[in-house]
Amino acid sequence: MTIFDYVVIGVVSLSLLFGLWRGVVGEILALIAWVLGIMAAIEFGPQLGQSFFSGVSDPAIRALAGCVVIFVGVLVVMALVRMAVRSMVKALGLSVSDRLLGMVFGLARGALVIMVLVGLGGMTAAPKQSWWREATLSQPLETAVLVARQWLPADLAKRIRFS
């Protein structure tokens, strides 16, 4: 086993543990929070930045500051929503099944993150390095990425090479 294998195991394990800790309801709400935060930041961030950060001379920095404020604000509000929903799940006696399903969600998320990282690695010279070539998990992950490559845009898919 090489550092490649240890990173894969570490990322998947951490994701699985976060899923267990937060439960599937918490994980889904966290995912929704990120999507809403990004959408709200794109939509409202530049206007907020121009209004509230007028003391900053660079308009790009003002827009970025507005985006950050909106994004963080949405995450905070959704964290409060997640806490309320989590207490309802606990009150209904569903915490064990929620956490077990959270583990499954975490495992799937970890696998997806690893596949994205391996795909990105396939666009570099990393697959030619000994720590990649000699890894136990590199070959099955490369195969999975090559199978999934058909769902990527053609310009992106053609850049992923492992040989």
Could you tell me the pLDDT band of residue 86, with boundaries at 50, 70 and 90?
confident
pLDDT score, position 90? 85
CA separation for the pair 163, 158 (Å, rounded) = 13
Tell me the residue length of the chain: 163
CA angle 149, 144, 16 (to 5 degrees): 115
Could you tell me the pLDDT band of residue 109, with boundaries at 50, 70 and 90?
very high
pLDDT at 89 over 90: no
pLDDT at 24 over 90: yes
- Summarize pLDDT for 42-78 with one digit per residue, the tens: 999 999 999 999 888 888 899 999 999 999 999 999 9
- Residue 139: alpha-carbon gap to chain centroid: 23
Rounded to an integer, the average pLDDT of 140-156 is 93
